[in-house]
Structure 1
Amino acid sequence: MLTLTEGLIELNVEVVDAEEAIRIAGQLLVDEGLAEERYVDGMVKGYKEVGPYIVVAPGIAFPHARPEFGAKKKGVSIVRLSHPIPFGHPTSDPISLVCALCGTDSTSHIEMLQALAELLRDEEKLHTILNASTKKEILDLI
């Protein structure tokens, strides 16, 4: 089960690149008290060092960092971009949905990955998230 609040959702966000998208998604986690600032840096560092491994499906990225980078509570943020941007993935670019994961241990990380994957595999639910005009529409869905 995913716990989500309006403070963890941003819609139609303008970004210039993947790093900015990751930072915005991570900052939502920080602002809601789920992670320390350094967690955001850990997410960006992972992306820069390992590449677009966080792209899990066409148009969708799940940035995250290891718990020791400052994860305080488990949670997820959802950032829908106003325009899709490349993350460097050969087959799943461009990305329009960035869901930042914050897990306090490997078990919670895997549970959130599974819950999000299940949610986004449902074409109707994914369509709702990609086309919602309000945060409440997404909250009602989840």
Structure 2
Amino acid sequence: MLREFVEKKHYKFATGAETWQEAVRMSCESLEADGTVNAQYAEEIIRCVEKYGPYIIIMPDVAMPHSQEGSANVNKTAIGFMKLEKPVSFDPGDPEKDATLFFTLAASDSDQHMANMVKLSEMLMTDGVADALKAAHTPEDLLAIQEKYLD
């Protein structure tokens, strides 16, 4: 999965974001760059989080920005990765709702979407992977993590 992020250029490394909304927009940039999603997809995710709360935080320090499957703003099914050096808070006062790792899901096909969610979950449950990703700074680091933990 990490190799795919690098090959498709679906990754971003950044210092931080002023707000969680900015972080969501930033997490969509690599998917926008190749037409996987259009620019409205980030705004759709933001509206969903504003409506339903920070449902995209799947574990401490890890966000999975996504909207409903079959969104008109998604052209292909893919996942984008973003790592922030400084965490962004989705719920001030609750550090469990901070995130530095973002896995942005775009789904045009429900079967592929479910397969991606399963692969992502398995990857994050692999001992050492989340900590290694938090220490990553380059696409080469992603490839090294893939080789060490996932191949």
Alignment partner of 1:102 is 2:113: no
* Alignment TM-score, normalising by the size of structure 2: 0.83
* Alignment TM-score, normalising by the size of structure 1: 0.88
> Structure 1 stretches of 5 or more lacking a match?
none
> Relative to structure 1, is the Cα distance of residues 139 and 104 closer, same or farther in structure 2, using a 3 angstrom cutoff?
farther
Counterpart residue type for residue 51 of structure 1:
G
More divergent stretch after superposition (121-130 vs 18-27): 121-130
| 1:91 positional shift | 6.4
Q: Which residue of 1 aligns with 2:16?
A: 14
The CA RMSD over aligned residues, in Å, is 2.0
Deviating above 6 A after TM superposition, structure 1's stretches of 4 or more consecutive aligned residues are: none
1:9 and 1:113 map into 2 onto residues whose CA distance is: 17
Q: Which residue of 2 aligns with 1:52?
A: 54
Choose 1 or 2 for highest CA Rg: 2
Percentage of matched positions with identical amino acids: 23
SS of the equivalent of 1:52 reads coil
How many corresponding residue pairs?
A: 142
SS of the equivalent of 2:104 reads strand
> Structure 2 stretches of 5 or more lacking a match?
none
